[in-house]
Chains A and B, each alone.
Chain A
Amino acid sequence: MTKHDSDNFGESAAAHALNALSPEERAAFEKQLGDSKQARLEALEFSETAAELGLAVAPVQPSASLKANLMAQLAATPQLAPPPPATPAAGNLEPVGPPIAAETAAERRAARRWFSRPVGILIAAAAAIALFFGGTLVGQTINSNQFAEQQASALAQINAAPDAQRATTTTADGQPATLVWSGELGQSALLVEDLPALPNDEAYQLWYINGEGAVSAGTFTSPGSGTVWRVLDGTMQAGDAVGVTVEPAGGSKQPTTKPIIAIQS
């Protein structure tokens, strides 16, 4: 880089951090950025400086509905998976601190209680993917849309509840499973990824489990891929665990097989 180029570059770095470049100028700058570690460092410093200007602005309290709207949209908003370990942007800068632990406290709790292996990344894409509600509902095409709507609305309510919580685990075969619940509403929903499809004469059955035993919370089937989810029937009591067993289609009065999922609320 000549002295002249370097000066131009520095000027653009400041303007870039202030978002004062045109789209063309920005593209050119970011292309140039990839070539030089020093340039990236400077760009980072300017970004940090600009962010300080942003944090210095007087805060404005948002309306309460903004948060409620947001929380209700989370379950339907898929999350990006983490990038590969060594991203080009980060690769050439030396880490100066320990990376943030990726595992959450909730996950550690769930893993400690039910399984010893760590839980993988979960993608809450519930409402965005194809749903399939089976079991007792197979063939009831007229009612199934209504059921799906009720389910979607119940899931949205749980997600929007101020006390909404979630816990994660994996099935016996390693598929990620998430329980979302609200103690206030007494409702919960289970989301499982890539749960294998069952023969026609079998269904997955949900259970609320506490010290007194298991209470059926409905049945469902899975298309075998994607995320399958179901809001549980009945009322959740504080401290209930949720279990899933494979039962004859239509469900059983009590679990007849070993749970493939057990997750503590």
Chain B
Amino acid sequence: MLSLMTTDSSPDLDERAPASAAELLARVSQGDQVAFGQLYDQMAPRVLGLVKRLLIDHAQSEEVTQEIFLEIWQSASRYDPRLGGASTWIMTMTHRRAVDRIRASQAGRDRDLRIGIRDRAVEYDQVSETVEVRIENERVGRAMSRLSELQRQAVSLAYYGGYSQTEVAELLKIPLGTVKTRLRDGMIRLRDEMGVAS
């Protein structure tokens, strides 16, 4: 029932590359720098793409991308292929580190939230729009289109905006419980539409 989770979740990458990300990761864990270079070539544009979506600033995004790849080098041995594809592992780490970076300047953002809810609401509209326009992957785009507008807003703000569920609630002026429900229902729908679940 978990069969999909062990396949690398980016077949477009695999077709192009001679070695899969999982294979390269296994070699990297053995200190293979050539494999690391190949893994970097495969994944760095994906990693930087997501980091930059979250951080906006290019220089800062490259800095975080470098940190992420050093972490990949250090902890490659901790990747367990039974727990999902290699690109999933890398993108999960990527999102986490980018969000860590955003929250490191949390004080500033808290202030923004309190003072400039209206401005942020404008920003949210832009985020939401950009998300819809720039999703390249057809399968993911299709799955997103199956969400209700409200679910899509909540999921996009959390994942592509890097907002916590509490922040999303403040941003949309709705109760936290409502945000939780939208995130959950949205993720279940996405999971089922993408065929991640059995």
Indicate whether A73 sits within 8 Å of B136 (C-beta atoms), given known contacts A52-B9, A54-B46, A93-B83: no
Interface string of B78-104 (1 = CB under 8 A from A): 101111110110011011100100000
Question: Which of chain B's residues have a CB closer than 8 A to the CB of A63?
Answer: 62
Instruction: Determine if B10 is an interface residue (Cβ-Cβ < 8 Å).
Output: yes
Contact count band on B? 35 or more
Which of A78-86, A145-153, A204-212, A245-253 contacts the other chain?
Answer: A78-86
Contact count band on A? 35 or more
Minimum distance in angstroms from B148 CB to a CB of chain A: 15
Q: Nearest CB to that of A53 among chain B residues?
A: B159
Question: Which of chain A's residues have a CB closer than 8 A to the CB of B134?
Answer: 57-58
Contact residues of A between 67 and 95, Cβ < 8 Å to B: 67, 69-71, 73-75, 77-83, 87, 89-90, 93-95
Minimum distance in angstroms from B112 CB to a CB of chain A: 17
Contact of A66 among B65, B96, B164, B184 (CB under 8 A): B65
CB < 8 Å A-B pair total: 248
Decide if A11 touches B180 in the complex (CB within 8 Å).
Answer: yes
Minimum distance in angstroms from B110 CB to a CB of chain A: 12
Decide if B155 touches A18 in the complex (CB within 8 Å).
Answer: yes
Instruction: Determine if A14 is an interface residue (Cβ-Cβ < 8 Å).
Output: yes
A121 vs B77: C-alpha distance when bound (angstroms): 10
Instruction: Determine if B30 is an interface residue (Cβ-Cβ < 8 Å).
Output: yes
Q: Nearest CB to that of B86 among chain A residues?
A: A100
A166 vs B33: C-alpha distance when bound (angstroms): 7
Minimum distance in angstroms from A58 CB to a CB of chain B: 5
Contact of B30 among A12, A93, A121 (CB under 8 A): A121
Closest 9 CB pairs of A and B: A59-B45, A56-B140, A54-B91, A56-B137, A14-B187, A11-B180, A51-B88, A82-B77, A20-B158
Could you tell me which B residues sit within 8 Å of A by CB distance? 2-6, 9-10, 22-23, 25-27, 29-37, 40-41, 44-46, 48-50, 52-53, 61-62, 65-66, 69-70, 73-78, 80-85, 87-88, 91-92, 94-96, 99, 134-137, 139-141, 143, 155, 158-160, 162-166, 168, 180-181, 183-184, 186-188, 190-191, 194, 196-197
Could you tell me which A residues sit within 8 Å of B by CB distance? 10-15, 17-22, 41, 44-63, 66-67, 69-71, 73-75, 77-83, 87, 89-90, 93-97, 99-107, 121-124, 159, 164-166, 168, 178, 180
